[in-house]
Structure 1
């Protein structure tokens, strides 16, 4: 796409976002290099078109991949200025606010995004389920992840399973949490919380520690 039109911001934004995801999930061998590439492509997207909302969403993702949470929130705020009623501007505003330790506005933006979407999406439910947990709304977290599993199937990646089990444990639903963990370990028997580096995306230690402790209490192997 960039070869066809070097001035197309969407090409740079797409590359930036993909590299930021690669860095945050540790998909590659060099997350620091991926995070740096994400930031470079995002800056090129901004230079190409600063009025394109996804340029700022991508920049926010690049900042998150570089553990610059407040900068991520500031960047995605520009996407909302451009598209205040945009589904993805609201969706990713909630996403980045959650990791920055601001779950209440995160929930608000994510609920707006889900209203704008009119239909369930994997991202919409995943992001909202995470934010509900960070906000201490464990019943809502459980309901959202349960709905996500019912609508789109049981995922083969850890996030939903860990959050669901942790939310159940914090509600005292020991039996349900145990069943959630048993189902997850049939999918990923080698999973260990101590090796789950994704949790480090959270800015605040208290958010990381609460999720970690609740998952262990639910029976997720440490």
Structure 2
């Protein structure tokens, strides 16, 4: 089903009415959960959090925001938390007419926040006339945790996780999620995301030896799948963990399953792009990478890296170069190694050398060997050719 044929929505950041800055995390966590739940529905296009949150802290003209994000509907709201009580106001707006299709105010105890989330997501699906399958109706229920303390640690971890992928930020996220997991060890989502941090550790060599970190990633991914085989994040993390283990076909299968379980998730789509490209299915990877961009008009920089890699491996060189240039523009220094390879392998050696010099000017510790440790290829000959291209362009091996 094409996105043009189904209703589309942006869930804007809820306004924190408490006057306490620390309650921003509470409001953001609520919105994050609503977006994640709605992304499990095939009959709805849901704009990714990274795009809708560009409006956080700004006065918003709903119609203008909807036009920029390319959606028919907008959900906006506010939240006030005081002691053990919450007041949540939410409004669904038709962006074309500006009229309110639905509005509600919830004045509940803090422990009812999960029930409020379920009610909001069900009302949205109903008001937008989304036809739900039996499986989708079941997936509309919030399942990350039923423990408010664990949920608080969950959203604190998300706050760190949404920042740049650095050792420090991911360590802070992991610390929060470990505390949450101790409170609710049977949560598939928490196990999955703890596993994802260990996957990042294995890839970027932050703490544990690579094999140890890789085994931890797979352990938590398998635990998450055991708790909920149909959890999208569990399948995504499993696909990444299996990629580390060079189990390419299994990784591809889990990546595909994740996209079926959360067809409206930009993050699930971009990691499917990443896994499938390295697993030997670049054309299929492109489809998911382009879908991620459609779901996130203001994407994180790494989306461009994932899509650019899929384009390159699929032989779509001009599109690969454009994607890598966009990656570098948003995150200076990143995407340049891919550009060096692309230029070197497309008979543009002088441009490759100039790009290599640019890379070393912003990432002075770059070596081909360290780069190779972060790469995965079902096609080992392709990896060897990429290593040779980087070295031929003048980048140091060690």
Q: So what's the TM-score if we normalise by structure 2?
A: 0.51
2:381 pairs with one of 189, 206, 211: 206
Report the alpha carbon displacement of residue 176 of structure 1 after superposing the two structures with TM.
2.6
Q: Structure 1 CA distance, aligned partners of 2:379 and 2:241? A: 18
2:321 pairs with one of 128, 135, 142: 142
Report the alpha carbon displacement of residue 164 of structure 1 after superposing the two structures with TM.
0.9
The corresponding residue for 1:153 is 331
Q: Structure 1 CA distance, aligned partners of 2:311 and 2:194? A: 29
Structure-to-structure mapping, 1:6-155, within 5 angstroms: 6-150=185-329, 152-155=330-333
Q: Structure 2 CA distance, aligned partners of 1:5 and 1:29? A: 25
Question: Is 2:332–2:362's contact at 8 Å kept on the other side of the alignment?
Answer: no
Q: Structure 2 CA distance, aligned partners of 1:189 and 1:88? A: 30
Report the alpha carbon displacement of residue 76 of structure 1 after superposing the two structures with TM.
1.6
Question: Is 2:270–2:289's contact at 8 Å kept on the other side of the alignment?
Answer: yes
1:168 pairs with one of 343, 347, 364: 343
Higher Rg: 2
Q: How many residues align?
A: 218
In terms of fraction of residues, the more strand-rich structure is 2
Question: Is 2:278–2:378's contact at 8 Å kept on the other side of the alignment?
Answer: yes
Question: Is 1:166–1:217's contact at 8 Å kept on the other side of the alignment?
Answer: no
Question: Is 1:139–1:171's contact at 8 Å kept on the other side of the alignment?
Answer: no
Secondary structure of the residue aligned to 2:213 is: helix
The corresponding residue for 1:183 is 358
Higher mean C-alpha displacement, 174-183 vs 120-129? 174-183
Q: Deviations over 1:118-176 (max 9, x none)?
A: 223212101011112212222211111111222x1313xxx622111111223333333
Q: Structure 1 CA distance, aligned partners of 2:314 and 2:382? A: 9
Q: What RMSD, in angstroms, separates the aligned Cα atoms of the two structures?
A: 1.9
Report the alpha carbon displacement of residue 93 of structure 1 after superposing the two structures with TM.
1.4
Any gaps of 5 or more consecutive residues in structure 2?
Answer: 1-179
Q: Structure 2 CA distance, aligned partners of 1:10 and 1:20? A: 15
Q: Structure 1 CA distance, aligned partners of 2:265 and 2:381? A: 31
Q: Structure 2 CA distance, aligned partners of 1:83 and 1:190? A: 38
Q: Deviations over 1:9-28 (max 9, x none)?
A: 22111111111121123333
Q: 1:160 to 1:98 in 2, by over 3 A?
A: same
Secondary structure of the residue aligned to 1:196 is: helix
Question: Is 1:87–1:116's contact at 8 Å kept on the other side of the alignment?
Answer: yes
Report the alpha carbon displacement of residue 193 of structure 1 after superposing the two structures with TM.
1.6
Q: 1:210 to 1:145 in 2, by over 3 A?
A: same
In terms of fraction of residues, the more helix-rich structure is 1
Q: So what's the TM-score if we normalise by structure 1?
A: 0.89
Higher mean C-alpha displacement, 193-202 vs 49-58? 193-202
Report the alpha carbon displacement of residue 195 of structure 1 after superposing the two structures with TM.
4.4
Question: Is 1:199–1:208's contact at 8 Å kept on the other side of the alignment?
Answer: no
Secondary structure of the residue aligned to 2:185 is: coil
Report the alpha carbon displacement of residue 61 of structure 1 after superposing the two structures with TM.
1.3
